[in-house]
Amino acid sequence: MSGVIRARLPFAITKANGVWITDADNKEYLDCLAGAGTLALGHNHPDVLKSIQSVITSGLPLHTLDLTTPLKDAFSEYLLSMLPGQGKEYCLQFTGPSGADAVEAALKLAKKSHWP
């Protein structure tokens, strides 16, 4: 049972595509719970699956934490290109394993820069 949903749903999800989930009896439901991170693109979006499969079959390491890879460098460059011109010189991009690590890094950076 999910820690977010307090009541157990009377079915088990066996398949998901876009905004639809399917149970073991092949009955379809509109996913009004946003499927834990699928809100923006839906379940099993073809572009997401293609990207994941590409990385998995490339031989690149999947977990590198602070070590760099060509894919991580390309992502960082793309992210920087999306920022307004004058903001780039103050940008710090952090790639960590969790949101908690990102918050911890931000607090340490703020403390180091004597803010506030």
- Sketch out the chain's domains with CATH numbers: 8-59 (3.90.1150.10), 61-115 (no CATH)
Selected residue with higher pLDDT from 47 and 3: 47
Question: 15 and 40 in contact (C-beta within 8 Å)?
Answer: no
* Predicted model pTM: 0.61
d(CA 53, CA 58): 8
Helix (H) or strand (E) run with residue 45 in it = none
What integer pLDDT is reported at residue 71 of this predicted model? 86
pLDDT digits over 18-62, tens only?
A: 999 999 999 999 988 866 667 788 999 999 999 999 989 999 888
Strands (E), 1-116: 13-17, 20-23, 28-30
pLDDT digits over 63-110, tens only?
A: 887 788 888 889 888 988 888 776 666 677 777 778 898 899 888 888
pLDDT band at 6; cut points 50, 70, 90: low
